[in-house]
Amino acid sequence: MEVKKKLSIADLIANADKIKARKAETRELYVKSLNATVTIVKPSRAAVLDSYEIGEGAGNSYLVYECVTEPSFKDTALQAAYNATGYEVLDQILDSGEIDSIAKEIIGFAGYGTDSVSVVEDVKN
């Protein structure tokens, strides 16, 4: 059985730049209906909590709207072209299942619903 290292303040300080950089990571997602990729960024905890508060359907749209950085769905010219404001523009551009799939990828990218944390059990001889 692998022994897990105990995290210390010194480790956190030594790795501060690496940890901060991880928060700003991006990923490319391929969107089939557009035959192109979009860039997502990890959501803040506040954005995830806001999306949960809004509710599953609109909350997913909110999360995609906030976390897709390229192209920016916040662009006013884009919204004018589709005659939609805010995250309503997503319904004009993406298939509804794609919005939910992108939101799921964003949530997973931030570590929600994954096995990124586990219980360490004591082994007794």
pLDDT tens figures, 42-73: 998 899 999 989 987 899 999 999 999 999 99
pTM of the model: 0.80
Rounded Cα gap, residues 101 and 107, in angstroms? 10
Asked whether the beta carbons of 26 and 39 are under 8 A apart, the reply is: yes
Adjacent-strand bridge partners of 66: none
User: What pLDDT does residue 120 have?
Assistant: 73
pLDDT tens figures, 29-41: 999 999 999 999 9
Asked whether the beta carbons of 28 and 105 are under 8 A apart, the reply is: no
Query: Which of residues 118 and 44 earns the better pLDDT score?
Result: 44
Q: How confident is the model at residue 24 (pLDDT cuts 50, 70, 90)?
A: confident
User: What pLDDT does residue 122 have?
Assistant: 64
